Structure 1
């Protein structure tokens, strides 16, 4: 296999704000694996909260380039097992590599990944569209720019969170999900849940800091709404800890290291009676296309990352008013636009 790395800065349609940061441009790394005829693509975005930078990912993958290129393109999971031992502190880079290996594998097999995994597209959850924190009137404008989505995720963690939801509710009958990104206290979450349940909110995502397990268990016992772990569920070992503190888990491919561990986490979570969601970062269609292949295995999905961009770099799976339109290609179906390819 031949390894190529592509660095892009993805421009956003709007400044995107959550409880801890704001961004207008999203740096991302695209990993390309090629056998000379077929190209597989994977993605990992930079993320300050997790200490992930494109420069570090590039350096880590370059240091293992010979080992990666010597591996067979026919077994992405064994590549993950082998390279994962060397990238234990850079799961973002491992994710991009794993996605690319799966995409290439599917293209060589002439099948989409979900078919290789024995899945059909009969039952797929709809995605939410995310509204970042802003002035209430601006959040209303953002909501009105994208009508027709069945679910909206509202980022919270401000002094007027309930007022935000009340204001947005006047402009849509769609389901809401709220995500505090670790911005609430235990009592605040309990109190807010009692109000939000009457405002058409489906669940609360990661209300407390990731390490506040005592507070989270108290919320779990007293919340009026289901609770979904995000920052508290990063790696495979975290699923077990979430069983007694959350009703479900949000798995992010970049955080856990790619499709290989994500599918194990899905099986583990389901065996524990937890609802399963896969979420995205603000990312291109490359990463979204990988998530799309998991849809038949999920209860919920957040795959609007490419819809938040003003300019994409790839074609593949698209999300239109919450519903995934699957690509016709094999693997994940992702392809970089031709002007982004290295000959």
Structure 2
């Protein structure tokens, strides 16, 4: 009975870490911004409470100091994991999210008992859960475990402050978050399966001149630089690239960001429009001035080469994206890899 239930859950909700590598990068970027917000919240609270006469000032200082410490750790881990190997990306890039998430749950409990603010505590608990549901990709089971532990600790306080009605309302909110997390993971799995079907039609050829094809036809952009931008992102293999780096690659090391920023935005619009016309989804991703492609949904000889595919290695003839000067160093790297 238990085995059947486990197999059912596995088939419905399990997604391999490699398939979640792109979602992990989104988690990483969102955690960077969320950690900054939490750090500023802790810093502001600490400064303000130094000037306010509270009954237990030490408890408040611990509360805000924890926000600063944990969010700062999450921020720097998110920075360090940018270029982690894709097979390990989901674990390492999602770890800082769990740090911030557990911080939010713990803050709710701390408000509830230590600061003597049960209403604020439960609000913090709920806000933490719903922000996670809206902005992050995560395991619904780990999510549920964290929520259950936090809620279990708060049950005596809920009963003492809000009696049975408060407990019933809280359980309703809790189960709503449980089911939303399962629904989200199921929808995420269906979407990834759809993207994998798209992989059969989308191909990048990098040995020799760079060519991007969809259904065996070359994808033509309105601007020449759009093709080079896509080539560079494919070379980056799913890593996020900032605006400044793209401008440097496309227009030279000393190109002025202020001058070429508008040109880059035009390229982004061109790429989005061209891919949308072909109904290519979730391949080119732009988030908070970070740009990347999802390498899991495209066939690419360069990716096969990196995976030590014998046919790809045999196919390489010492040429890689010949049109672009920045690709010369990559050619040398590939040649050395062949000789090993």
Give yes or no for TM over 0.5. Answer: no
What TM-score range do you get, normalising by the shorter chain?
A: under 0.3
Name the structure with the higher helix share. 2
Name the structure with the higher strand share. 1
Q: Highest CA radius of gyration, 1 or 2?
A: 2
TM-score by length of 2: 0.22
Which protein, 1 or 2, shows the higher relative CO under an 8 Å CA cutoff with sep ≥ 6? Answer: 1
TM-score by length of 1: 0.22
